[in-house]
């Protein structure tokens, strides 16, 4: 897993002080170093850990023993590919009894996902809701209900949560725990963290709120690190609103006041359509979920029904496109052109190696992807689109909640002894 310190300075300080003042702080620092090496690089022998960390072998043996006692790692025999002789003893992440909880409040659903330290899903549930229509208080009631259900399920399995991270589509004041401005769901100055704490009889050790696109970018960044050396990427969340998580040189770009990534409000609409933010011509009115549904079907069509699971509605659009429905085909063609236009502008400015299309694009983006890539190649100033590859996400609507779970678990990776 990539270093979650890419997210924000409030979480991002490397584990332990740079010059520990006592032996206890040195040991806490070293425990975190060993655990993160196993997280990022996978199972390895104690001798390899010593080489990777530069720590003496007896120190590594002692640290591994403590992590085993904490239930965070385990040792077992394994034969590396191509190796001969007796299998070696490898140390690997365990942590089946600990989890992080990620929650997403989207425009059309509330999604909760709990991941254990070894990456396994311990609980997942999503419920459709028209968030902007029911109001913040009702949504917080529902969210608290989902947290209680998750905690009860974890209790039954003997799994302890180390924290909850809530993803919301808007500008977030992380320190205050508030949603400052979220036009896609109609929220302004909503005290999310305090509101949830007041609704919960039992509060997890940590409860924080973050922007959904930034958490989705974290999850996507973790995913690409498993296969590629990618340190510059843009993750586009495709829902009613359009947001971006921007990773540059392995760090998340936040901007001076946290507004970086609000790409859905770039003024690109030649027809100057009104946007929920109060302005006209925003990119999200061209390529957001409302745009594809508006272009593809009349208002009374079933694909507009918010009580129906979004995947079901997108599957219906896919079926119509594959059956040759001309209106659906024209809608996909129009969104592909407009999506490529915005991506090309971002590629000119940021020059990422990868652009990942998430959210609803995961479900029907393959029907547009060839044309999107063509538009990007045609419009980007640099040859071959500056080396930028446009891909579809493999995480879909789970990306933001997954990123939230990763962020909650980062407290363990930074200070294992605090468990």
Domain extent for 84: 4-93
- End position of a domain, from candidates 93, 108, 138: 93
* Per-residue pLDDT at 119: 87
179 and 80: one domain? Answer: no
* Per-residue pLDDT at 377: 96
195 and 234: one domain? Answer: no
Assess contact for 166 and 125: CB atoms under 8 A.
no
Which stretches of the chain score pLDDT less than 70? 1-22, 77-88, 226-228
* Per-residue pLDDT at 309: 86
244 and 325: one domain? Answer: yes
284 and 193: one domain? Answer: no
Report which of 297, 67, 280 is spatially closest to residue 75, judged by C-alpha positions: 67
| pTM summary value | 0.85
How far is the C-alpha of 366 from the C-alpha of 214, rounded, in Å? 23
The count of domains in the chain is 3
* Per-residue pLDDT at 83: 55
* Per-residue pLDDT at 262: 87
User: Does a structural domain hold residue 204?
Assistant: yes
Q: Hey, what are 58's tokens? A: 């007896």
270 and 374: one domain? Answer: yes
Report which of 278, 284, 296 is spatially closest to residue 338, judged by C-alpha positions: 284
145 and 189: one domain? Answer: yes
- End position of a domain, from candidates 93, 116, 143: 93
CATH number at residue 19: 1.10.10.10
CATH number at residue 374: 3.30.420.40
104 and 85: one domain? Answer: no
Angle at 92 between CA 407 and CA 248, to 5 degrees: 40
How far is the C-alpha of 131 from the C-alpha of 100, rounded, in Å? 24
User: Does a structural domain hold residue 221?
Assistant: no
User: Does a structural domain hold residue 238?
Assistant: yes
* Per-residue pLDDT at 388: 94
271 and 302: one domain? Answer: yes
383 secondary structure, DSSP code: G
48 and 108: one domain? Answer: no
76 and 110: one domain? Answer: no
* Per-residue pLDDT at 294: 95
300 and 239: one domain? Answer: yes
Instruction: Express each pLDDT in 107-144 by its tens digit.
Output: 889 999 999 998 899 999 999 998 999 999 999 999 99
């Amino acid at each position: 897993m990539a270093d979650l310190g890419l997210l924000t300075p409030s979480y991002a300080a490397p584990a332990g002080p740079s010059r520990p003042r006592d032996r206890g702080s040195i040991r806490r620092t070293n425990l975190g170093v060993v655990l993160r090496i196993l997280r990022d690089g996978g199972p390895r022998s104690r001798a390899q850990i010593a080489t990777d960390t530069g720590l003496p072998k007896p120190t590594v043996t002692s640290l591994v023993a403590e992590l085993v006692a904490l239930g965070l790692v385990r040792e077992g025999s394994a034969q590396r590919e191509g190796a001969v002789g007796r299998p070696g003893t490898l140390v690997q992440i365990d942590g089946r009894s600990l989890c992080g909880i990620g929650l997403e409040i989207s425009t059309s659903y509330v999604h909760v996902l709990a991941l254990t330290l070894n990456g396994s899903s311990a609980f997942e549930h999503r419920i459709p809701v028209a968030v902007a229509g029911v109001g913040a208080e009702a949504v917080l009631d529902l969210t608290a209900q989902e947290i209680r259900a998750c905690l009860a399920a974890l209790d039954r399995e003997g799994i302890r949560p180390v924290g909850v991270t809530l993803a919301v589509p808007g500008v977030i004041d992380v320190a205050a725990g508030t949603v400052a401005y979220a036009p896609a769901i109609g929220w302004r100055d909503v005290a999310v963290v305090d509101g949830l704490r007041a609704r919960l009889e039992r509060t997890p050790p940590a409860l924080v709120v973050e922007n959904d696109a930034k958490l989705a970018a974290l999850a996507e960044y973790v995913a690409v690190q498993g296969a590629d050396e990618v340190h510059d990427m843009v993750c586009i969340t495709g829902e009613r609103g359009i947001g971006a998580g921007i990773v540059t040189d392995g760090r998340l770009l936040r901007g001076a006041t946290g507004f970086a990534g609000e790409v859905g409000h770039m003024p690109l609409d030649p027809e100057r359509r009104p946007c929920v933010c109060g302005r006209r011509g925003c990119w999200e009115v061209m390529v957001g979920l409302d745009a594809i549904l508006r272009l593809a079907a009349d208002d009374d069509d079933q694909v507009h029904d918010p009580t129906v699971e979004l995947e079901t509605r997108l599957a219906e659009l896919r079926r119509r496109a594959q059956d040759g429905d001309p209106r659906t085909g024209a809608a996909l063609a129009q969104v592909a052109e407009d999506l490529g236009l915005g991506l090309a502008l971002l590629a000119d400015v940021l020059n990422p190696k990868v652009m990942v299309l998430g959210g609803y694009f995961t479900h029907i983006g393959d029907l547009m992807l060839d044309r999107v890539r063509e538009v990007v190649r045609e419009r980007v100033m640099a040859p071959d689109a500056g080396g930028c590859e446009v891909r579809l996400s493999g995480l879909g609507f789970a990306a933001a909640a997954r990123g939230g779970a990763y962020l909650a678990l980062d407290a363990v990776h930074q200070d294992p002894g605090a468990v």
